A = this chain, B = another copy of it.
């Protein structure tokens, strides 16, 4: 048996993911050492309460409440406590002491990523974060390395399992959003306070990270446009399904460079219609997937579990083996590339297609009046249908599909429609992606 030099691994946090990382590290240590070319010695686990009950039985002597002391002298620090502080300070301390850091902390990366990457570069340390986006799915490394020689035009991700679970049940079982959320909560897919998921905050953090990787540009969380799914009704989902679409909460990162729009990149999160033939439409339940459109490589999709303790632990351990190999062989690793530094566009400049539903007066001339409002605002119509739903006798429901138009033009159109005498109400506006 080969004798390896031991690397000192410090683990911060022993929650759902952290406790599985500790378990796998202790159980598979020898195998991981063979792959890494170094022993991986778990020297301690920093937690707030060592006596708290945990899903995994871990040696009591590994626990400490003194995260700061644990970080000092570690070769590799794994941060899985989440949140901004003390995670940020501990990571900076670890990097400054020369340790490599592995984190699954999407909130921290989306908020303080620039500072952390800068700190790592200053001292020649590495920051790994495969676990921060789409759980078990290897997406960071493919974007950062495999596609480094290509130009990415667009990334569309289903990166939040809770919302996909809810929208999928609404679509396939006809449940209301409230019913589906209740099931998600019962099954542990949704947290007690589901705001971060259903309002799209979680997906927006991931969009920030994905956009940075795809476009070699720092895209801070403040510049990510965000809408959650709370406004999505069963009626919208069912109308979409009848029309051949699925409703998905998408994290979209796009490079825009023609079409009359300003040059730049956009990162945004909103519920959108995608054609039911699109590979993303087949992503069911709590699964995640990231669809990438690259100039040379064409369309790619990465699919798998977006959350879960052992699943996310797999991504952490992959980073750990990478970090350990780097310690054995030397050299500062891949590093971040923000060389492009592109302009980040506001939502108003974004161009896409829209699906608009209107309740209008059921009398001659109304369709022409509605069409005129669209055309006055520079939005051209692709399809107009009268919905078959029963409303009262004096009201008709129009379903309008537009050609590509800016968000600003569409917003002005919707505002003018709402003010129009012939329109009773604009009942639904959804963007259409992936077609």
Would you give the shortest CB distance from A255 to chain B, in whole angstroms?
12
Query: CB within 8 A of A149: which of B32, B147, B279, B295?
Result: B32
Contact A20 B329 (CB under 8 A): no
A399 at the interface (CB under 8 A from B): no
Contact B303 A145 (CB under 8 A): no
A137 cross-chain contacts in B, Cβ below 8 A: 300
What's the Cα separation between A231 and B30 when bound, in Å?
Answer: 45
Given known pairs A141-B146, A305-B297, A318-B150, the reply for A335 and B331 (CB within 8 Å) is no
Contact A314 B34 (CB under 8 A): no
Would you give the shortest CB distance from A411 to chain B, in whole angstroms?
34
How many residues does chain A have at the interface if contact means C-beta atoms less than 8 Å apart?
A: 62
What's the Cα separation between A279 and B216 when bound, in Å?
Answer: 31
A262 at the interface (CB under 8 A from B): no
Contact A300 B296 (CB under 8 A): no
What's the Cα separation between A282 and B333 when bound, in Å?
Answer: 37
Give residues 1-60 of A contacting B (CB, 8 Å): 20, 24, 28, 31-32, 34-36
A136 at the interface (CB under 8 A from B): yes
What's the Cα separation between A313 and B149 when bound, in Å?
Answer: 9
Contact B301 A314 (CB under 8 A): no
Q: Digit string of A318-355 for contact with B (CB within 8 Å is 1, else 0)?
A: 11111001100111111101011000000000000000
A316 at the interface (CB under 8 A from B): yes
**Residue in B closest to A325 when the chains form the complex, CB atoms:** B334
Would you give the shortest CB distance from A13 to chain B, in whole angstroms?
17
Contact B339 A34 (CB under 8 A): yes
Would you give the shortest CB distance from A299 to chain B, in whole angstroms?
6
**Residue in B closest to A302 when the chains form the complex, CB atoms:** B302
What's the Cα separation between A148 and B216 when bound, in Å?
Answer: 26
A188 at the interface (CB under 8 A from B): no
Most chain B beta-carbon neighbours within 10 Å: one of A146, A317, A329, A337: A146
What's the Cα separation between A297 and B134 when bound, in Å?
Answer: 11
Contact B296 A317 (CB under 8 A): yes
What's the Cα separation between A226 and B53 when bound, in Å?
Answer: 51
A310 at the interface (CB under 8 A from B): yes
A331 cross-chain contacts in B, Cβ below 8 A: 326, 329-332
A304 at the interface (CB under 8 A from B): yes
A294 cross-chain contacts in B, Cβ below 8 A: 136, 314
Contact B279 A296 (CB under 8 A): no
Contact B297 A315 (CB under 8 A): yes
What's the Cα separation between A140 and B138 when bound, in Å?
Answer: 11
What's the Cα separation between A282 and B282 when bound, in Å?
Answer: 9
A332 cross-chain contacts in B, Cβ below 8 A: 329, 331
A86 at the interface (CB under 8 A from B): no
Contact A305 B314 (CB under 8 A): no
Q: Digit string of A282-306 for contact with B (CB within 8 Å is 1, else 0)?
A: 1000000000001111111111110
A326 cross-chain contacts in B, Cβ below 8 A: 331
Contact B333 A329 (CB under 8 A): yes
Q: Which residues of A contact B (CB under 8 A)?
A: 20, 24, 28, 31-32, 34-36, 130, 136-138, 140-142, 145-151, 216, 279, 282, 294-305, 308, 310-311, 313-322, 325-326, 329-335, 337, 339-340
25 A-B pairs with CB atoms under 8 Å apart are: A34-B337, A35-B149, A137-B300, A145-B321, A147-B314, A148-B322, A149-B318, A149-B320, A150-B314, A150-B317, A296-B310, A297-B304, A298-B305, A298-B308, A299-B305, A300-B302, A300-B303, A302-B303, A303-B303, A325-B334, A326-B331, A329-B331, A329-B332, A329-B333, A331-B332
